[in-house]
Amino acid sequence: MIKKIAALGLAACISAACFSSCETTPPTPIETTTESGTKTYDVEDSVLISCLGQADENGVYVIPDTITMIGESAFAGDESLREVVIGPNVKAIGSGAFQYCTSLEKVTIAEGVESIGSSAFYACSSLMEISLPSTITRLEPSTFYGCEALETLSLEHIQYIDDYAMWYCSSLESVTLSEELTAIGDWAFSQCQKLENINLEDCTRLESIGDYAFSVCEMLRSVVIPEGTKSIGILSFYECSRLTDVTIPSTVEKIDFAAFNYTPWFQEHTADYLIVGDGVLIRCTVHPMYLDLADKGIRYISSAFWNAEMSGYAKEYGYRYASELESIEIPEGVRVIGSSAFEGCVALKSVVLPSSLERVESNAFYVYSVSYMAQTQVDMEKCESLEYIGNYAFYGCTGIEDIQLAPSVDYVGAYAFAATKAYDSFMEAAKDKENENDRYLIVGDGILLAAYVQDGQTSVTIPEGVRVIAGSALCGWDTAYVPEDTTELSTSGISKYNLSYQVTTLTLPSTLEIICDNAFFRMTKITTVVLPDSLQIIGNGAFAFCESLSELSGGANIKEIGSDAFSFCTTLRFFRFSPNTVRIGSGVFAGCSALESVYFPEGLAFIGEEQFSDGCTSLMEIRIAPEARPRIYSITGSLAQNIQVNYYTENS
């Protein structure tokens, strides 16, 4: 009864439309259970830790003036809450603060509130009205994820919209964006099926639109990408089935895989070459007999020649003549061949690459097929500026007999040259080499492209001088070896067997700078690894599924660690990042069931989502910079409420 009277008193103050003059005394911390459900109220150092069942008979709750922060999950799952009023004394709304408040219809947030945490209003399926003050400038991941009743929203002060921020706001019809907006994250407005009006053209500082950002926005009819935008992500406008009008400015340098392919706008363009932005080729309708890419100002080739039919889609979504294309000469001036640009062009016999080329993205020339062996030869002789080769970039190009990479290349992704004649010939020859150093395929400026691991070999020492370990490099193949356990079979698409699972000792050279994607994937018996201080980058999945890896040391100068880098290292107990690490991908420790504690470095520029998973059953503690608190649910994923999160202080 005391709590109900206090709530009524607060509601009366709100009816007088006054945030600051209504001073209230909050109830004593308490938890009770009544017929209407659990009631809790707990405050620590002005942080509202838990507040359930405290709304008045109208479902209204006003945050007391003494509160400066609404803690993580403070109101989570409170189905009695219909309206909440947050005054100016509150500076932060924690991650998941109102998640699953399925009856919450209205939220008023006063000027002065500075941050809203990730998933703060996750699955508030009845939320229809919310106003954001000018003091909030960022939407964290999944902030309004699944707010199905929300019809309109003003984001006129938001400078950054993170991943999934508005995902499946299925009633959202109109959004007002800020002129100061700089980036729209992956899946940010995906599944906003009624979204019809969005003022992208006003966002004069917008630089990037993320993967799937507006996918399945079925009512979206017109999009004007503003001047200054540089990149548009994978399938950004996938299944925007009414999008007929698209304007792309000259500043756009990158349009990733099939960004517009599934829109009427794309389908209605029947010109020979659809080149937009700063020389981005996104569609070609020319028969291979008449194909000529020269002198067209092309700088970036998107998925213009992708074989949609081989991926299970109708021909018109990709290059209609992909199965007939036998040769292609990429003209000078092209800097990037994008993801899946020529994927599935299984008839390709000849590819000539230009001296201007800097990047070949993942799957660019993926032509492997179980039913057809592509004879693709690739001339890379002029590629003196090439820096990056993505995962599976030339996978299945059997005509590649020799791999010569320029000194400029410093990253080669997983299986980039697998299923080529050069790769297979090396493996066959390496079987008979007695000297271990002769079983390493080293190309370019110290790039270890592949290593043959003999049957029974338990120790691997990477030679000094190796600067880069390419993706999936540590894979030994032997057609004569049949493992007893079928889980040891390779899943790469090559009908041979991976022997690297038997290696127990791995020694890395002092010259090593980069470990690329999946480099040591599923080396299940290595137990300890000493990382050299020369190492700067660990790629995606680099040590994934190294199930016996219990100790990592060294690596004092690592700057970047990719997504899933140590996922499913099920005996790894502790991890302390280098203080020099500035970027950490997503899911780095997913499935690490023995992991007990992780110390994240201060000064991180970026940390990805869901570092952990349900499989991290031993995790008790993480330490992280206080700046990460608004995203803590995004960072910790499903374990958010089950672990101790300690934030660094000046004295810690």
The predicted structure's pLDDT at residue 652: 59
Q: Residue 30's pLDDT is what? A: 52
Alpha-carbon dihedral 546, 548, 551, 554, rounded to 10 degrees: -30
In order, the DSSP letters of 312-344 are: TS-GGGS-TTGGG--EEEPPTT--EE-TTTTTT
Tell me if 337 sits within 8 A of 359, measured CB to CB: yes
Three-class DSSP category at 3: helix
Cβ burial of 250 (10 Å; 0-12, 13-18, 19+) is exposed
- Host H or E run for residue 426: helix 421-430
Let me know how long the chain is: 652
Q: Given the DSSP bridges, would you call strands 245-247 and 621-624 parallel, antiparallel or unpaired?
A: unpaired
pTM of the model: 0.90
Torsion sign over Cα 379, 382, 384, 386: negative
Strand 280-284, strand 152-155: pairing: unpaired
Going from the first residue of the chain to its last (652 residues), give the mean pLDDT of each consecutive group of 10, the final group possibly shorter. Answer: 33 35 42 65 97 97 98 97 98 98 98 97 98 97 98 97 98 97 98 95 97 98 98 98 97 98 95 98 98 98 97 92 97 98 97 99 92 88 98 96 96 94 89 90 96 87 98 66 49 51 92 97 93 98 95 96 97 95 98 97 94 94 95 90 88 62
**Nearest CA to 198 among 172, 216, 180?**
172
- How far, in Å, CA of 505 to CA of 629, rounded? 39
Structure tokens at 191: 């599944």
DSSP annotation of 278: T
pLDDT at 333: 98
- According to DSSP, the residues that pair with 624 across neighbouring strands are 647
Task: Say if CB 53 and CB 76 are below 8 A apart.
Answer: no
CA dist 110 and 493 (Å) reads: 57
Q: How far apart are CA 455 and CA 499, in angstroms?
A: 6
Which amino acid, one-letter code, is at 16?
A: A
Q: Please tell me the distance from the alpha carbon of residue 245 to that of residue 81, in angstroms, as a whole number.
A: 42
Amino acid 228 reads G
Domain map (residue ranges) of the chain = 440-647
312 Cβ contact list (under 8 Å, min separation 6)? none
Note whether 374 and 348 are within 8 A (CB).
yes
Model pLDDT, residue 493: 39
User: How is domain 440-647 classified at the CATH fold level?
Assistant: 3.80.10
Q: What is the CA radius of gyration of the chain?
A: 28
Which residue shows structure tokens 């193949």?
477
Q: According to the model, what pLDDT value does residue 457 have? A: 86
Model pLDDT, residue 641 = 81
Q: What is the pLDDT of residue 475?
A: 65
Q: Pseudo-torsion of CA 68, 69, 75, 76, nearest 10°?
A: 180
Q: Do the strands 440-443 and 447-451 form a parallel or antiparallel pair, or are they unpaired? A: antiparallel
**pLDDT at res. 501:** 77
Tokens of 29: 């911390």
Instruction: Name 107's Cβ contacts closer than 8 Å, sequence gap at least 6.
Output: 83, 84, 86, 98, 121, 127, 129, 130, 131
Q: Which one-letter amino acid corresponds to residue 111? A: E
CA-CA distance, 165 to 204, in Å (whole number)? 21
Q: Can you tell me the distance from the alpha carbon of 569 to that of 549, in angstroms, rounded to the nearest whole number? A: 6
Q: Are the beta carbons of 511 and 465 closer than 8 angstroms?
A: yes
DSSP 8-state assignment for residue 311: G
Please list, in sequence order, all residues whose beta carbon lies within 8 angstroms of the beta carbon of residue 456, skipping any fewer than 6 positions away: 502
Q: How far is residue 364's CA from residue 256's CA, in Å, rounded to a whole number?
A: 11
